[in-house]
């Protein structure tokens, strides 16, 4: 009888052993503007939230941090980078430049700002996915060519995963944009996530879910 009691006690003890600790989710920050901030949408419909849901549905243990400020330019992103990094992300999507193009800011200045952001992230061993943007057609072919060359140039220089056009399938599609013709509707956000997801998964695959320790 005593032996049986001992066996039962061991069974209970085994059942109380703590489960193996689950690895902390990778923290993926999006440095962006009003689109990343979820302009005009409920918080649950913002694209960082939707991207996290899509990644988790695909089995990627990722927490997406939205670091978007409405109206932000590449200069704005550059000036607040250190503040944004207080969340200690493991990786970053840089989705800036749309407002630069809308305002017709000099492409060389926009490129210099993005170069600064990318170099500072590289110095901290934080991997980056770069989301490209297009310039408004009314600014002329020469401006557009110079502006749109920024992203592939930087991606090539820094060896980054590049998603060529962040608003692919959204710009010019009435059902995917709000009345201003610029910001995505909830349906537009779905299109953004659908489009960029393969690039994000490829990016995460490079990391191997084991980001380098940041210094």
Q: Which of 43, 41, 40, 117 is nearest to 74 (CA)?
A: 117
* Closest among 183, 176, 209 to 38, alpha carbons compared: 183
| Contact (Cβ atoms closer than 8 angstroms) between residue 74 and residue 108 | no
34 catalytic per annotation: yes
Which residue among the candidates 82, 179, 180, 210 is catalytic per the annotation? Answer: 180
Task: Answer yes or no: are the C-beta atoms of 163 and 199 closer than 8 Å.
Answer: yes
Q: Which two tokens stand for residue 169?
A: 């399938």
Indicate the length of the chain as a whole number. 215
Q: Is 158 a catalytic residue?
A: no
Residue among 34, 70, 116, 168 flagged as catalytic: 34
Q: How many helices (H) and strands (E) does the chain have?
A: 10, 5
By annotation, the residues acting in catalysis are: 34, 180, 183
């Amino acid at each position: 009888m005593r032996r049986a009691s001992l066996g039962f006690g061991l069974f209970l003890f085994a059942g109380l052993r703590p489960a193996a600790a689950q690895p902390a989710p990778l923290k993926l920050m999006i440095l962006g503007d009003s689109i990343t901030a979820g302009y005009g949408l409920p918080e649950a419909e913002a694209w960082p939230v939707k991207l996290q849901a899509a990644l988790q549905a695909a089995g990627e243990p990722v927490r997406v941090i939205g670091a978007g400020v409405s109206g932000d330019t590449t200069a704005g992103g550059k000036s607040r980078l250190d503040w944004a990094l207080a969340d200690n992300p493991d990786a970053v999507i840089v989705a800036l430049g749309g407002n630069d193009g809308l305002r017709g800011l000099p492409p060389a200045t926009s490129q210099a700002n993005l170069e600064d952001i990318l170099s500072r992230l590289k110095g901290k061993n934080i991997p980056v996915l770069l989301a490209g943007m297009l310039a408004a057609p009314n600014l002329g072919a020469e401006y557009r060519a110079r502006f749109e060359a920024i992203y592939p140039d930087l991606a090539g220089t820094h060896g980054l995963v590049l998603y060529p056009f962040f608003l692919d399938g959204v710009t010019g599609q009435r059902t995917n944009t709000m009345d201003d013709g610029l910001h995505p509707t909830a349906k537009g956000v779905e299109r953004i996530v659908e489009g960029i997801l393969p690039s994000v998964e490829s990016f995460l695959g490079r990391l191997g879910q084991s980001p380098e320790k940041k210094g």
